Structure formats: structure tokens, C-alpha cells
Amino acid sequence: MKPIKKASEMSVRELARYIDQSVLKPEFTQADIRKYSQEGIDFGCATICINPASLDMVSEMVQGTDTGVCVVCDFPFGLSTTASKVKQAEEYCSHYKIQDLDIVSNYGQLRSGNYDFVINDLKPVVEVCHSFGANVKVIIETDSLTIDQVKKGTECAVKAGADFIKSSTGFFTGAPGVGAINEVVAAMMEAGQGRIKVKGSGAIRTREHFLELIDMGIDRMGIGYRSTPVVLGCTVEEATKLK
């Protein structure tokens, strides 16, 4: 959605509401997860995006704050069976207060042109999440797709009833990792036609790019823990003082 004012005129707290702080690296220690999750909370990010194994810790940390939990599902490949994906989503949403669930689509099927498969693989997950009041973001791994396939993937997410279309996992290694470049984000917006929100993720590392995407009308962005202070233009200590 187009913002009512330019991104350059927004406060740090307003800008932080566009961010899902990514705390997903599999090698992170428990201390790392706690540190970077707390930084996202202190910045006032919309959510902390975590692996399911971190749900106990981070769910407790966000209690009483303006920051929610975003858990990834079938991440980063999206190749489990549909039944398995449904069970994963049901377990996370039934045991924890989940704001968003980011699920990886079977983008190999998307690349194959099997759109009905993609839709039917996602739809029951969306239904489960919605029954618990959680939003669903569908990751289509845009670095693996042509622009036309990005548009087709967006349409599949719309037909599955998802709340967001999302570009990347940040873990794709089969091609250059351009992530949420403006062309890809514009293609998702064009295909979505206002029927679905757009989350850009992957390679959003400069303040200029971050502000450009907001001005384009993006709804959310996945930002790595190192890049959050860069795109917001302040340290976590400075952000805490602005509360």
C-alpha cells in the first residue's frame, strides 16, 4: 500500500513497523538468538522472524511489546508433503501466539507450471493459520524464477487465500542472490493488484533501497539483523531512547 507520506519523512518507529527482523541462521547459538531478537524488539520491528525451534524463547521475549512473532514453515525448501505442512502450521499456531507464518511454496512445481498443485499445497495451510488468527506469507523464492513466474506465483498465493506474497528465503544458492530488487517487487505488486500484501526479503541492505521500496508501496520487509540499524539509520541504543 502506498504510504501517506514519503519514507524519508517517517520516524524511526514508523520505519521499524515495516521490518520483520530476520533471526534465522541455523548456526546461531541461543545467546545469538536472544541478542538479535531483543535488538528487533528494541527497534520496534513488526515481528521477529524465527525458526520453529526458537518459538519458546522468542514468544516469551515479545510478550508485552509491540513486536510479534513470525515463524517460518517448511523452510527453506518447501518440499514437505502438504499434510506435513499443515501439521507444522497447526502445531506452531496452536501452541504459540503467532502473528505471521512464512511458508515456502513448492517453487519447483511453480517453475514446472503446475499452478493448481502450488495453490492446493498452500490453501490448507492458509486455512489452518487463519483459524488461529495468524497471517500467512507465501515465499516463492524469486531468485529461481523469471518475472513471468514471479507473477504466476503471486497469483497462486492470491488464489490460496494468503495474506502476503514474499520474495525470498535468503538461503537460495542456485543463482545470484538479488533478492527484493525493485523489478521483482514491482512484478509482485502488479500481479497482486491490491488483493495481497507484498513482503520483500533478500539483499535489502541499504537505507536508500529500503526507503525506495516503502515509497513504491511495499507492506513489509525481511531485514537481516546486521542491516536493521543501517536501513533505520540509528543504533539500537538510539532507537530505545526514542520510545
Give the integer Cα–Cα distance in Å for 154 and 9.
30
- Per-residue pLDDT at 225 exceeds 70: yes
Q: Is 159 a known active-site residue?
A: no
Note whether residue 224 is domain-resident.
Answer: yes
Q: Is 199 a known active-site residue?
A: yes
Active-site annotation holder among 85, 137, 152, 166: 166
Give the pLDDT confidence score for residue 174 in this predicted structure: 83
Give the integer Cα–Cα distance in Å for 90 and 128.
6
Give the integer Cα–Cα distance in Å for 224 and 182.
18
| 84-104 pLDDT, tens digit each | 999 999 999 999 999 999 999
Q: How far is CA 118 from the centre of its chain?
A: 19
pTM for the predicted model, two decimal places: 0.96
Q: CA Rg, the chain, in Å?
A: 17
- Per-residue pLDDT at 48 exceeds 90: yes
What phi and psi, each to the nearest 5 degrees, are found at residue 235? -85, 165
> 9: which DSSP letter?
G
Give the model's confidence band at 205: pLDDT under 50 very low, under 70 low, under 90 confident, else very high: very high
| 156-165 pLDDT, tens digit each | 999 999 999 9
Active-site annotation holder among 85, 137, 152, 199: 199
Note whether residue 1 is domain-resident.
Answer: no
Active-site annotation holder among 74, 102, 163, 219: 102
Please give the helix or strand (H or E) that residue 101 lies within, else none: strand 100-104
Average pLDDT across the chain, whole number: 96
Provide the CB-side half-sphere exposure for 62 (13 A, CA): 29
Q: Is 102 a known active-site residue?
A: yes
Note whether residue 80 is domain-resident.
Answer: yes
Give the model's confidence band at 243: pLDDT under 50 very low, under 70 low, under 90 confident, else very high: low
The CATH number of whichever domain residue 122 belongs to comes to 3.20.20.70
For the chain, the distance separating the N- and C-terminal CA atoms, rounded to the nearest angstrom, is 26
* Number of structural domains the chain divides into: 1
Note whether residue 41 is domain-resident.
Answer: yes
Identify whether the C-beta of residue 93 lies closer than 8 Å to the C-beta of residue 186: no
**Residue 93 identity (one-letter amino acid):** C
Note whether residue 2 is domain-resident.
Answer: no
| Secondary structure of residue 173 in the 3-state scheme | coil
Provide the CB-side half-sphere exposure for 241 (13 A, CA): 5
- Per-residue pLDDT at 60 exceeds 70: yes
Identify whether the C-beta of residue 97 lies closer than 8 Å to the C-beta of residue 124: no
Domain extent at residue 191: 7-241
- Per-residue pLDDT at 192 exceeds 70: yes
User: In 10 A of CB 118, how many CB atoms?
Assistant: 28
Q: What average pLDDT score do residues 186-213 get?
A: 97
